Amino acid sequence: MKVLANDGIAQSGVTELESAGFEVILTTVAQNQLVDYINTHSITVLLVRSATKVRTDIIDGCPSLKIIGRGGVGMDNIDVEYARSKGLKVINTPAASSHSVAELVFAHMYGMARYLHNSNRDMPLEGDTNFKGLKKAFAKGVELKGKTLGIIGIGRIGQATAKIALGAGMKVIAFDPFIKNVNLELEFFDGQTVEFDIDTISKENVLKQADFLTLHVPSQEEYVIDTAEFDLMKKGVIMVNAARGGVVNEVALVKALEEGKVAQAALDVFEKEPTPEMQLLMNPNLSLSPHIGAATGEAQDRIGSELAEQIITILN
């Protein structure tokens, strides 16, 4: 049986699948050529990440397919229910990248708190001629310890983010319409553990209280953060969106940055990927990354292994 990993898969997954007798194809096939390629090569399993879309044309047009796999959490690039209604198995790896995304959130938050995203741009340009000026410009940083982190969406990634926040000495508050309480166990290098219980509160109260804000929600029809939500926030809040493009109104965000309601914001995802708006790319109050939340070697190894294990279990 053949597996087409159209957006790639870690070697860990390739090794496990090949050991189980599968042929793994790592060719990247253009979206408009996928149906022909899958049929020509009798592909049984199609694995994607975020680049490849699996819509009804592929589902209906490729009778050899038995499994569609998404290396990651969200499956908005797959017509999941339609595929399942046609008898296909649709799998993903909801837990594999949680910690990687959480670490990226904190990389952005620590960077913004000390203006590192600006400092790293300005030092090469002015470091030799305006050292004292830059020192003064970036001397108003804040510490995360003792601050309140608001989490919108406290599923797996939200919980991983909360654990890092608790370890950093932050107070954690959260809103989630589907979760009332979470019990978090922090594990340390020597085997010790500490447990924390977090009761979720209203979205309005999270927005009003948070010094730092992070979103971990799926794609939705309406914005999760829009003008009304920005109006509720503390003046000078720092926020991160490493969830999905389109959950934050980027026009309203830029306005909130201009007005000082939001001091700084980080975006790992964008409404118009892969061509974000230039006003975002050039905004000095934004810390930006190109949708790399799950892009660590460790996360990709976990994703590859989890996909391989599920495929082997289903087909063998």
Shared domain for 127 and 276, answered yes or no, is: yes
Shared domain for 280 and 303, answered yes or no, is: no
Shared domain for 10 and 124, answered yes or no, is: no
pLDDT (0 to 100) of residue 167: 96
Shared domain for 281 and 195, answered yes or no, is: yes
Q: Which of 103, 273, 277, 309 is catalytic?
A: 273
| Residue 155 DSSP one-character state | S
Is this structure's pTM higher than 0.75?
Answer: yes
List the domain range (segments joined by +) for residue 232. Answer: 98-288
Shared domain for 69 and 103, answered yes or no, is: no
Q: What is the CATH number of the domain that holds 307?
A: 3.40.50.720
When divided into structural domains, the chain yields a total of 2
For 4-14, write each residue's pLDDT tens digit: 999 999 999 99
Per-residue pLDDT for 84 more than 90? yes
Shared domain for 174 and 308, answered yes or no, is: no
Active site residue 216: no
Active site residue 273: yes
Shared domain for 167 and 208, answered yes or no, is: yes
Shared domain for 90 and 106, answered yes or no, is: no
Q: Which of 156, 244, 250, 306 is catalytic?
A: 244
Q: Which of 108, 156, 291, 302 is catalytic?
A: 291
Shared domain for 282 and 305, answered yes or no, is: no
For 89-122, write each residue's pLDDT tens digit: 999 998 899 999 999 999 999 999 999 999 999 9
How many other C-beta atoms can be found within 10 angstroms of the C-beta atom of residue 69? 29
pLDDT (0 to 100) of residue 50: 85
Tokens in use for 8?
A: 């790639």
Site of tokens 């993903």: 92
Q: How is the chain split among helix, strand and coil, in percent rounded to 5?
A: 40, 20, 40
Q: Which helix (H) or strand (E) holds 315?
A: helix 297-315
